[in-house]
Structure 1
């Protein structure tokens, strides 16, 4: 598995992984038919914008045949009251790659092993366990955040 910085041409593969991972991880939060209706081309346009602006560091995991199977993004933080110097903005891996170590490698490539923070869906046991294993703990901050066609509860984790 190769972990490398994302380039503009990765926008569509990142978008495919992004939406597929949402369908795999969040069907208990949003009806699958709503998640299925999300558009890869629209999401790819958003990713091209993110990659073009260069304000967010994005890394991808590429398998032996050259397919993107995961990605992570990080920045200096979007919150005015950022509790740590780096924010993990997103990390998604296709379910077929769960347990392979790719999520761990993406996390390390995105934020290293030092102080960082992230927001997670409060009802995301697999992700919360992964982050806990990596030293992230809730700091008490909670939000209702827009997600697809509704709002969900999110918790902030810090390390």
Structure 2
């Protein structure tokens, strides 16, 4: 494997981040999302959204590289209170120190090479350095690969579930929660 690194994303990475997001969704989520939703994803709009995130925040975005290629990315930041609340609306006492991993994707052709673990590990260190005490992420219940990956980091379902409307098809997501002191282990 060529040199693999994780670095902070810059504004000029927006197009490649958007490309990776759309490619990965169109590859990995064909069973989860209707074809018309995947076909309707707009590369220009995705690039604009990432450009805004990279220049205005509030998330931190990291990219994984292998050689000169950007192969994946992770976006995370402080979790909004509604994202941290329990299903009954109760807000936990540590809500102000919970971080939300809003995206962690590695383009499928670069998978199984440790990029996801490096991204999550570096992001967890950065979040902990800013005072975050634990992380959360929403994962489609049927996305067994992501469930397994986060499980290797010690993150597990915390009992909170949401159902999104994915182009007229319900998409059930589980909220996973876990420590920021990661000890990634092989499943």
TM-score (normalizing by structure 2): 0.77
Correspondence 1:6-85 to 2 at 5 A? 6-32=9-35, 34-64=37-67, 66-80=68-82, 82=84, 85=98
C-alpha deviation, 1:31, in angstroms: 3.4
Which of 135, 143, 148 in structure 1 is aligned with 2:154? 135
Instruction: Tell me whether 144-153 or 120-129 shows the greater mean CA deviation.
Output: 144-153
1:147 and 1:53, CA in 2 relative to 1: closer, same or farther beyond 3 A?
farther
Separation in 2, partners of 1:136, 1:98? 20
2:50, 2:66 → 1: CA distance? 20
Is 1:99 the counterpart of 2:102 in the alignment? no
Aligned length: 158
Distance 1:106 1:149, change over 3 A: farther
Is the 8 Å Cα contact of residues 64 and 115 (structure 2) preserved in structure 1?
Answer: yes
Unmatched runs of 5 consecutive residues or more in structure 2? 85-94, 179-187
Secondary structure at the residue paired with 2:41?
Answer: coil
Give structure 1 stretches of 5+ with no counterpart.
none
8 A Cα contact 1:117 1:157, kept in partner = yes
Superposition RMSD in Å:
1.9
Q: Distance in 2 between matches of 1:50 and 1:149?
A: 28
Which one has a bigger Cα radius of gyration? 2
